[in-house]
């Protein structure tokens, strides 16, 4: 009976050590809110390789990959377009997920150097992004 409990405890700690903290607690495809002032603005999201990954109309929500490879976060540019307005482009940058540092205590080197970097969970994106296309009349007046 004691042997079974010992095996169960060792197995649990082994599984915990094989997983990364950020991979367990957060998602490598976070949902990002897309907003604008004014509303009902078309948006287009382009990744760091120049590929369009999402299109829609504000307000909206989109799932975006936070990683683009081993130890590489994915960054995006969100362009907001509305007829009669100047386009507005807002960068959407990844940052290191705070849960990634939990590997020091719980996930160990496997979580820190392999699991979280490979899954992209070591990075996170902002919860939302807001664009503000400027009416052309206002943009032209301020340029003069």
At residue 30, the pLDDT reads 82
Counting residues of the chain whose pLDDT is more than 90, the rounded percentage is: 45
- Distance CA(91)–CA(141), nearest Å, equals 26
Q: Highest-confidence range of 21-30, 70-79, 115-124, by mean pLDDT?
A: 70-79
Tell me what pLDDT residue 98 has.
Answer: 73
| Short-list 103, 125, 104, CA closest to 20 | 103
Better-predicted residue by pLDDT, 50 or 98:
50
Model pLDDT, residue 12: 46
The CB density around residue 112, as the number of other CB atoms within 10 Å, is 19
Q: What domains can be seen in the chain, in order of their start residue?
A: 8-133 (2.60.40)
Residues contacting residue 28 through CB under 8 Å, at least 6 positions apart: 65, 66, 67, 119, 120, 121, 123
Residue (of 26, 28, 62, 31) closest to 44 by Cα position: 62
Query: Helix, strand or coil for residue 16?
Result: helix
- Pull the structure tokens for residue 126: 């902002």
Average pLDDT, the chain: 79
How do residues 21-74 score in pLDDT, each as one tens digit?
Answer: 445 555 557 899 999 999 999 999 999 999 999 999 999 999 999 888 887 889
Q: Assign 10 a pLDDT band (cuts: 50, 70, 90).
A: very low
Instruction: Determine the Cα–Cα distance for residues 76 and 58; give it in Å rounded to an integer.
Output: 17
Which residues, at least 6 apart from 52, have a Cβ–Cβ distance to it below 8 Å?
Answer: 44, 45, 46
| Residue 86 banded pLDDT, cuts 50, 70, 90 | very high
């Amino acid at each position: 009976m004691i042997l079974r409990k010992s095996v169960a405890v060792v197995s649990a700690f082994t599984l915990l050590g094989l997983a990364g903290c950020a991979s367990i607690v957060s998602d490598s495809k976070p949902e990002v809110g897309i907003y604008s002032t004014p509303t009902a603005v078309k948006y287009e999201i382009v990744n760091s390789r120049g590929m369009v990954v999402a299109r829609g109309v504000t307000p909206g929500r989109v799932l975006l990959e936070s990683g683009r490879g081993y130890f590489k976060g994915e960054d995006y540019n969100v362009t907001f377009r509305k007829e009669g307005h100047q386009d507005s482009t807002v960068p959407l940058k990844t940052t290191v997920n705070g849960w990634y540092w939990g590997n020091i205590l719980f996930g160990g080197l496997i979580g820190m150097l392999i699991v979280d970097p490979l899954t992209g969970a070591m990075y996170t994106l902002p919860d939302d992004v807001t664009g503000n296309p400027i009416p052309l009349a206002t943009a032209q007046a301020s340029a003069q």
